[in-house]
């Protein structure tokens, strides 16, 4: 019997990319999945081959941070006890800091950091009260290492690592676990949808994402990390530069910063 059979899971950003693939993998393992995304039509289309009783669709824009608390309470009231939250929704960025409008930073922080903090804050009392739960968050390798053109994105993702490393120590006594997922290159549209210095979508897939894991391969590895309750998992091909960069940053920082000036991530 699958570890996930019968578990109730919330997946944000479920209409595409890693979120969609991971939600499908949860369903294949017998979980009941609560799908959250702005794009209701895309979710309906993407999951029409699954038993409609095995998932629920909730269109919601996580940029509306002030409405997340009431939204989460509504989900719990309607769906019952939640076992796993996968904070996946987010947006990337590609542009030099000196050229970038700070409004772009605000937009990225709202979705990639503050919405995650608020969703976690809203669901945590529920998990603490039932003495079990797991909060999983997609933080990206950009939350472990910085690189050119990614200052705003890395700011949000580094913040998530600091936040959850602290929260993990506080809530483990309640049998609530934290798992951070740090994908490297995965073949999704995250690079194409990244915001430029002016806040417009980048619109090109020219940074090597298509050479990475498929979204389903990434999803399978994510489920393994969740099952094992890993504190942190880098999700990437063995030859992805993400692996090498993480270790070089720790062991040979001078070499890392030399290379970081030349790598386009």
Q: Which of 58, 96, 153, 256 is catalytic?
A: 153
Neighbours of 103 (CB within 10 A): 10
Measure the CA–CA gap between 24 and 39, rounded to whole angstroms.
Answer: 16
Residues 232, 182: contact at Cβ < 8 Å?
Answer: yes
Active-site annotation holds for 58: no
| Half-sphere exposure in the Cβ direction for 187 (13 Å, CA) | 9
Measure the CA–CA gap between 56 and 90, rounded to whole angstroms.
Answer: 21
- Pick from 9, 207, 250: nearest CA to 92: 207
Measure the CA–CA gap between 124 and 182, rounded to whole angstroms.
Answer: 22
**Structure tokens that stand for 30 in this block:** 């017998």
Residues marked active site are found at: 153
């Amino acid at each position: 019997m699958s570890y996930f059979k019968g578990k109730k899971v919330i997946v944000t950003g479920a209409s595409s990319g890693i979120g969609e693939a991971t939600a499908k993998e949860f369903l294949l393992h017998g979980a009941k999945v609560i799908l959250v995304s702005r794009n209701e039509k895309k979710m309906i289309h993407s999951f029409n081959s699954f038993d409609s009783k095995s998932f629920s669709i909730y269109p919601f824009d996580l940029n509306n941070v002030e409405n997340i608390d009431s939204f989460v309470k509504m989900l719990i009231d309607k769906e019952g006890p939640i076992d796993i939250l996968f904070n996946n929704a987010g947006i990337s960025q590609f542009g030099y800091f000196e050229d970038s409008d700070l409004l772009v930073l605000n937009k990225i922080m709202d979705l990639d950091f503050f919405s995650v903090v608020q969703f976690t804050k809203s669901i945590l009392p529920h998990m603490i009260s039932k003495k079990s739960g797991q909060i999983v968050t997609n933080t990206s390798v950009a939350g472990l290492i910085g690189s050119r053109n990614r200052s705003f994105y890395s700011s949000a993702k580094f913040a998530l690592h600091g936040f959850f490393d602290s929260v993990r120590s506080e809530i483990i006594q309640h049998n609530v676990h934290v798992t951070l997922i740090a994908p490297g290159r995965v073949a999704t549209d995250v690079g194409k949808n990244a915001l430029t210095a002016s806040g417009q979508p980048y619109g090109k897939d020219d940074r090597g994402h298509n050479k990475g894991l498929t979204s389903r391969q990434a999803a399978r590895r994510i489920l393994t990390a969740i099952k094992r309750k890993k504190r942190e998992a880098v999700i990437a091909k063995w030859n992805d530069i993400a692996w090498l960069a993480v270790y070089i940053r720790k062991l040979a920082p001078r070499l890392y910063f030399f290379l970081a000036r030349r790598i386009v991530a």
